[in-house]
Amino acid sequence: AQSVTQLDSQVPVFEEAPVELRCNYSSSVSVYLFWYVQYPNQGLQLLLKYLSGSTLVKGINGFEAEFNKSQTSFHLRKPSVHISDTAEYFCAVTGGGSNYKLTFGKGTLLTVNP
Amino acid sequence: DTGVSQNPRHKITKRGQNVTFRCDPISEHNRLYWYRQTLGQGPEFLTYFQNEAQLEKSRLLSDRFSAERPKGSFSTLEIQRTEQGDSAMYLCASSPGTGGQYFGPGTRLTVT
């Protein structure tokens, strides 16, 4: 079984500041890792994914994340945020078995202030 | 737009009534998933289809819940004898395999 811990439930930042949203996972098998973004009253949009290969992955909207196997982490970063980045961000993991169902963290609400 | 679609977007029903939701996945995706999301939580897995076969059901899916995917295309999720605890956002996602799942906009259910 897998689990995901998102260490911060809320992260307030000012516009154009850098941001890091933290995610740690637990799994007994190799994993695939994902970050999703959810705007109010909408579904989830895939930001980026780590399947294999380079541990630094780049996604949409200028976001990137780094897979660290020894620390079981997959933190999301953006060097300069915009007001439009205000949303809920979910880290998710899948691994083991063939169904690839996702296990999500509880989410981090990123609020970008002017 | 060829993304995942869900209908209806919102459903208000009285306790004890039955409701049915529909999901139309991305056409070339053979995998389809249903999740439930309550306020302040991440989505939780409910069930998974590969083509028309329902291959896994979560313990969250009580016997009041049933899902189908006839002919491996669209899927329906039915809740019988709804309870207030069923109020949530029901999300559908489709996937071609390991590359991630693509979510629809969700159906928000309110049971009064």
- pLDDT, tens digit, 9 for 90 and up, residues A1-49: 789 999 999 999 999 999 999 999 998 778 899 999 999 878 899 999 9
Pairing mode, strands B53-57 and B44-50: antiparallel
Q: Which of A45, A100, A103 sits opposite B95 (nearest CB)?
A: A100
pLDDT band, very low/low/confident/very high, at A53 (cuts 50, 70, 90): confident
Tell me the shortest Cα–Cα distance from B3 to chain A, in angstroms. 11
Query: Are B103 and A43 in contact (CB < 8 Å)?
Result: yes
| Class of residue A97 by CB neighbours under 10 A (exposed 0-12, middle 13-18, buried 19+) | exposed
What contacts A114, CB < 8 A, 6 or more positions away? Answer: A14, A15, A83
Closest CA to A48 of A21, A11, A83, A27: A21
Query: Are B35 and A102 in contact (CB < 8 Å)?
Result: yes
Query: Are B103 and A105 in contact (CB < 8 Å)?
Result: no
| Digit-coded pLDDT (tens) for B4-56 | 999 999 999 999 999 999 999 999 899 999 999 998 899 999 999 999 999 99
pLDDT band, very low/low/confident/very high, at A97 (cuts 50, 70, 90): low
**Which of A60, A100, A103, A109 is best to mutate for the B interface (most B CBs within 10 A)?**
A100
